[in-house]
Amino acid sequence: MKAYIVGVGMTKFEKPETRDWQYWDMVKEAGTAALTDASVAYEDIEQAAVGYCFQASTAGQRAVYELGLTGIPVYNVNNNCATGSTALMMARQFVEGGAGDCVLALGFEKMARGSLGGGGSDGGAGDFKTSPVARHYGIMAAAHGFEMTPPTAQIFGNAAREHMERYGTTEAQLAAVAAKNHRHSAGNPYAQFQDPYTVDEVLAAKPIHRPLTRLQCSPTSDGAAAAVVVSERFVEQHGLGDRAVGIAAQAMTTDTGASFASGTCIDAVGLPMSREAARQVYEKAGIGAEDLDVIELHDCFSINELLTYEALGLCGEGESGALVESGATTHGGRWVVNPSGGLISKGHPLGATGIAQAAELTWQLRGEAGPRQVPDARTGLAHNIGLGGAAVVTLLRR
């Protein structure tokens, strides 16, 4: 049974403590928007998958109770930064498996200000002996030592250093990723940041962990996103064909030996996972990277966008710096990558990110993305990754 997204919604992503709201307020706003977009009532929802990282068990129930008290099953999902796409994947599986014709995928986060720690969802401050990502940071420490910089920025920054040393990637090419995404977000009213920056301004920003500056790092954010996922039968019964965007293929991968065998941060932060998830999706859909029109990928740091270009097959190994510098991944280029502004500029409330990517692609494929619209977009791909680890790749088709 095929699964379709027929409604999406999200809040504006905000710097923590900017708005006086609770996580259930965010979910009510995003969920109501998605239901309205789909022209369905909450009473039509048969199951809900709710993703978050920084709240207590059953916070998913507390959140959706603002939409209605119908007694449906609610599944609480936590998969680090891949949480939102994991909730979306569960919703798709429920529909395709016949467990429901109309399912809600939700993701939210209410975060604390400041950089994330290295301990996963507990926001740990670097106690890698007990952290679920201890093996990943152990790889980093063995290769690069440990500096007194934010742990997540440090492991990705060290991946950037490796890429520069191995392939000649430049700091300007890394900064070009951030400049592109900040420029894109200027047309996105949901983005946390909407100011464009030049490559020189990105390079001149506050250093976080060399070579990464503040403008190359995704911020902590508050926000929520939602998607209504339905069966083909539901689409036909409710006349939703003009709203429906098909989930053509989807795959989740987790770490294998390849994540750790090389002893590099490039692999420890998920390049092998992303490459394999993309391979599975392309194989299921019978397409390749050349068939994509628009891409929302996990640019938690500028280096991860470059690594993901290579994992998705947009270019060869080590060629991603030249690719972004060429303009191939912005408007007028071969693909438009992160038209929303990506995590760097749109924001990164962990539980909401993956579903917000799907929302952006849904708007793009319907032709509803306003000033950031990719002309004639028919095929969109989302990539969402979390350390610890999980990579989810989703292919959407109009």
Cβ-Cβ contacts under 8 Å for 393 (sequence gap 6 or more): 250, 251, 274, 277, 278, 280, 281, 312, 381, 382, 383, 384
First to last CA, the chain: 17
Position of tokens 């190994």?
A: 317
Q: Which residues are catalytic?
A: 81, 348
